[in-house]
Structure 1
Amino acid sequence: MSESRLIELSYYDPKAETRLTAYADTIVLDHNEKGGIISAVRFGGYPENVRAMSDAIYGGATIEATQNGATHRIQSKLRGYQRVLGHDGIYATATLMATDDEQTTGDQNDAEESDDAQEGQQTLQPRKCYIFCPAGDRDRLFDELDHKTAAPLIPAFRDYVLDELEKRGSLRRLHVISQKERMDAWVLELKPEDKNVVQVLEDGLKTGQIAIPGAVPGAPDGFEQVENVTGYLNTFGVTVADRIRNQFLPLFDPASEPLSEEVLAINDCIQQRAGYSLYDAQLAVAEAVKRQLKRNGTAIIIAECGSGKSATRS
């Protein structure tokens, strides 16, 4: 598909005899033998159409995408997206981004099939993770990769690890079609216990393509000025803080994401019935709890007394 104009998205439900139309300025596709699978999409239109189209994509529908007279049928992942809905005047917008596969287990052969296997034994399954970053920003790509895997990565490994994972097919670039955004999108396929990433590191260490700082005699290791805890914090404090922040990403970031229509509607109801609105922090917690409930069905709010947990929960 060309990138010259907005992309018309359409969906038809034959049972309800309903046709939906919206217009996308950004689509990210993961191509396979069946065509393309939506990894991310941003579209707009009238609020009722945007909400319904968002539900259709979230529900795994097949969507028709038309641009410059060419129409393509693209697939969506059943309940495989994080959704953000917003308003722009009388129009609405929706952004859906593919969520990472969760750590899942599958049953191995039971005792009847193998004397050595234990009945009900579980094994981790491969999973896919999605990375979205500014176009050409390999530092950001590596940082996101580091967040997705438990394998030990350091900045000195960046070029080798990225090139090798892409060469082995574990890191694949996705197709980005966008009117405004200059971005790259990737899918990272991880084997159980991240063994494919660990294998890349082990191979690099064996061949000498990468080396652990301090392991090579005479090579600088970054600890020359570190003599005590204060020196360590002065030297590596920012790096440690960044790694902690990147490993505990919030479910909702009020600085960069809008509140959902559902939370805003509840806040309006509270204002009408009780005469007050939730504080900004309470609204942020409510949005995070809503997302957690949709994801896992259970959410826990932990905060000190008097912080507004009861009002947020209710």
Structure 2
Amino acid sequence: MTPARFPTFGQELYLRETVMAAKLLAELGLGRGASEAVAERLSHPSPKTRERIAAKLVQRLSSGASRADAAPHFVRLVAGLQDATARRELIYYATTRADPLVRAIARDILHTVLLDRATPAGARREELEPHRTGLLLTVEPVVSMRFVLDYAARVWGFTSRRSVLLALRILRQAGITRTQRLRGAAGLVTAVALAPHGISLPTFVWCFMDEFGSAVPAPTVDRIERSSFARTLVVSTAAVDARLDEAEQEGFVNTRLISGAHRVVPAMGAAETVDRILGG
């Protein structure tokens, strides 16, 4: 999908409702009637609203795995996890796959600027300088909301202000970012900064399997550090390395010498991995 063709959307993260839907669909499955079953459990007064939200929840849960045959395992994982942080991360991950505008903002703008300290493709460094974004002084890396809106319109050809603002809201709801109101030349400026967060072991293991489970050749450590999921979750190299070490210690992945390089491979399939995560 090209950036200019990002679909618009109108649903926030809906954490509580997504967990409810996952628990229901872990029993019923993702097939015909799934959306209707979820809609019946929603409390919104309007039937149309319930139908719309239910359809989006099912779409997002179905998108939690890159392969359709693995989607039921993702649903079972979200339904069975007791770790609220891991659940939230996984729901966010599925949301970024169903609504790729969120992923693009996280991966191509926020990770690039806030962690890589680089300039997003298609932008100029001076566009990020405080005086260009209206900020007088910042004590930590931030991205002005105006820059995100302008970048989406100019570089991606995406002009739905509502969808961009909703994507930024989802990032806040997921605990990835926080909003700051900073003093600018013409008053207060709304900016986006990273919230304190990492990546849980269940999320790391699932995302690793989803992105690299069938990769040939298997990824090296540096490739995992630069992975799409790490950028989408806007986590540092150190956080990725720590979880990779833990995943190997817990027996979820193995490191092997393949074609002259140390490569990381899953230790088991998706079903067994989910069983291990939930059983642990």
Give me the TM-score of the superposition, normalised by structure 2.
0.33
**Bigger Rg, structure 1 or 2:** 1
Structure number with higher helix proportion: 2
Q: Which has the higher contact order (CA 8 A, sep 6+)?
A: 2
Give me the TM-score of the superposition, normalised by structure 1.
0.31
